[in-house]
Structure 1
C-alpha cells in the first residue's frame, strides 16, 4: 500500500492505496449524465502518457515532433503536461481544497480544463485535478511533479494468471436497461486498434457469438471484404482449452493488477490485449440455454439482458489507441484511421 503526499510539505493527500492497471476507459467520454468513479476505492493507477495542459496543436508540433512523443497519426492537440499522473477515486483523497479560479466545467461539474484545481490544504501548492463533470468518469489525477509516495508497497508483484479466473470479476456486456456497457465499448475500442494492426490489412474472421457481435461487425466494415487470404482471431488465455487449430491472432487478457499481457503458446503470430473483465465474460460466461432441474422441469431464471441496439466500439478510444501504434504509418491502416477520424459516427460507430 502507498500513501501519496505533498512534495512540498509532506502532508498526506490520500488514504493507503494499491496499484492496479490503468483502465481502458480512463479517458473515455460517454453520454451526458454523471458517471461513477473510475477507480475502485483503495486503488490507484499511473498514466504513462502526458496528462493535461499545456496543449499544443498538431500543426505546431508536426509529424516528427509528435512521433518523438509516441503519436504517429494526426490528433487535434498533444498534451505537454508531465507523464506519470496518478489517478485515484475522489473519495480516497484527503487534505485538499478547491482552487476556485480553476473550477471550470462544461455542465454539471469540473472537467479539469485549466489544470490542477485541488491544492494542498497545508501549504497551498496545486497538487491534483478533480474531474467530475458529465460524460467523464469521476477521478482525481495527482500531478506527478507535486506529489510523492510517503510509504512504499514493496517490490513489484508478478501477474498471477491462475488467480485471475478465480478472483477477478467479469463485466456483463449489457446493462439492465438494455444499453451496452460503456466499459465494453472502450475495451473493445482499444483491442480493435491492435487487432486491425495485427490483421496486416487482410480480412479477419472471429467465431460466432458475442465475439462476433462485438468485434466481427467492425472488422467486416473496416477491413476488405475479400482477399487472397483470411486470418482467424479467437480467444486464448489461462483456463481456456484450445478449441482447434491455433488462430492467427489471439485475444488475450491484460492483467488487471499489473497490466501485463498474457503470452500465448508458440504458433500464434499475434497477441491482442483485452481488458481482463471483458475477456473473462467472453471466455467463461457464454449465454446458456435453460437447464433442467429434474425431468422436464426447466429453470425459470431470467435470461441475461439483451441490448436493443448493435454494438458500437468507442470511436474516440479506437482513434487514440491507433494513433499510438507505429503501424498506423502504413498506408492501409492510416486510411482506416483517416476514415474513422473523418466520420466517427458512421457504421460501425
Structure 2
C-alpha cells in the first residue's frame, strides 16, 4: 500500500492505494462522451515513459536518440518530461485544490493542456494534473517531481493467483449496452494486434471463429497477406484445455496487479491481453438486466434477452496500435515498417 504526499510540505495527497499494472487504455481517447475513471478506487499505476512538457518534434530528436528512448519509428513528438507519473482515481485524491488559470479543456472538462492544474492545499505547490474532459478516461496524474511516497502501515492485499483471479474475474463484454464496441476492447486489441504482427513474421495468420474473428480477424486480414502456411492463433491460460495441436501464437491473460503474462503455453510465441478482456474471450458470461434467483415454476419458459450485438464492424484503436508498434524494435523490419507507415498516414482506413 502507498500514500503519496507533497514533496515540499509532506501533506498527504491521496488515500491509501495499492499498485496495479498501468491499464492499456491509459492514453486512449474515445468518442466525444464522458468516460469513467481510468483507475479503480484504491489503486494506482506508474507510467514508465516520460510524460508532459517539454515536447520535441521527431525531426529534431532523430532516429538514434529516439531509439535510445525506446521509440523505433517516427512519431509526431517525444516527451522529454520526467518518467514515472502516477495515475490515481480522482476520488482517491486528498488535500488538493484546482489552479484556476490552468483549467482549460476542449469541451466538458479539463484536458491538462496547461500542465499541472492541481496544487497542494497546504503549501500551494503544483502537484498533479486532473483530466476529466470528454473523450478522456478520468484520472489524476501525480507529478513525480512534486510528490513522494509517505509511510503507510496498512496491510497490502494479497496478490491473487491465476486460479483465484479467473474464478472471480467476470470479464468485460466486448459490446456496450447501446451496441457500441467497448473502448476497453478497442484499446486492448489495438495493443495486442501490434504484438501479433511481430509474432506473425509477416505471414498469414488465422484465428478461431467467434469473438476472436470479430475483433482480430478483419485487422489481420487487412494488414497481412493471404496464402500458406498459416500461423494458427488460439487462447491459452488457466482453465483452458491445451489445444491440440499447439497453436503457433497463444493469446494469454495479463495479470491486472502485477502486469505479468501467464506462462507457460508451449506455443512458439505468446501475446497477452488484459485479464478482463481475456476472461470474457474464453468464457463469456451473459449479463442479465435484473438479478435472477431461485427457479422457475413448472411450465414457465425463460425469456432471456438475446446476446448484445454490435451495430458496426470492430475497429481496433489505431492510436494505441501505433503507440505500441512504435515501441517494438521489430518495427524496423521493412515489411512491418511499411504497415506502420501506411496506418500512420491513413489511421481511419480499413480495418481502423
Q: TM-score, normalised by structure 2?
A: 0.93
1:287 deviates by: 7.4
1:45 deviates by: 0.8
Aligned equivalent of 1:310: 313
Instruction: Give the conservation status (yes or no) of the 8 Å contact 1:50–1:84.
Output: yes
Aligned equivalent of 1:269: 268
Aligned equivalent of 1:243: 243
Moved more, 217-226 or 146-155: 146-155
Deviations 1:277-315 (A, max 9, x none): 100000111779xxxx89997532112210011000000
**Contiguous gaps of at least 5 residues in structure 1:** none
1:189 deviates by: 0.4
Aligned equivalent of 2:63: 63
Deviations 1:144-196 (A, max 9, x none): 12111113577997661111111223001111111101110000001111011
Q: TM-score, normalised by structure 1?
A: 0.94
Q: What secondary structure does 1:261 align onto?
A: coil
Q: What secondary structure does 1:144 align onto?
A: coil
Whole-Å Cα distance in 2 between the matches of residues 240 and 72 of structure 1? 35
Aligned equivalent of 1:280: 279
Instruction: Give the conservation status (yes or no) of the 8 Å contact 1:63–1:72.
Output: yes
Give 1:1-349 correspondences, 5 Å limit: 1-152=1-152, 160-227=161-228, 229-266=229-266, 268-285=267-284, 299-349=302-352
CA RMSD, 1 decimal: 2.0
Whole-Å Cα distance in 2 between the matches of residues 39 and 94 of structure 1? 16
Runs of 4+ in 1 over 4 A off after TM superposition: 152-159, 293-298
Moved more, 200-209 or 94-103: 94-103
Instruction: Give the conservation status (yes or no) of the 8 Å contact 2:236–2:265.
Output: no
Q: Does the C-alpha gap of structure 1 residues 301 and 54 become closer, same or farther in structure 2, counting only changes over 3 Å?
A: same
Instruction: Give the conservation status (yes or no) of the 8 Å contact 1:236–1:264.
Output: no
Q: What secondary structure does 1:320 align onto?
A: helix
Instruction: State how many pairs are aligned.
Output: 343
Whole-Å Cα distance in 1 between the matches of residues 70 and 26 of structure 2? 18
Q: What secondary structure does 1:272 align onto?
A: strand
Instruction: Give the conservation status (yes or no) of the 8 Å contact 2:159–2:257.
Output: no
**Contiguous gaps of at least 5 residues in structure 2:** 288-295
1:114 deviates by: 2.0
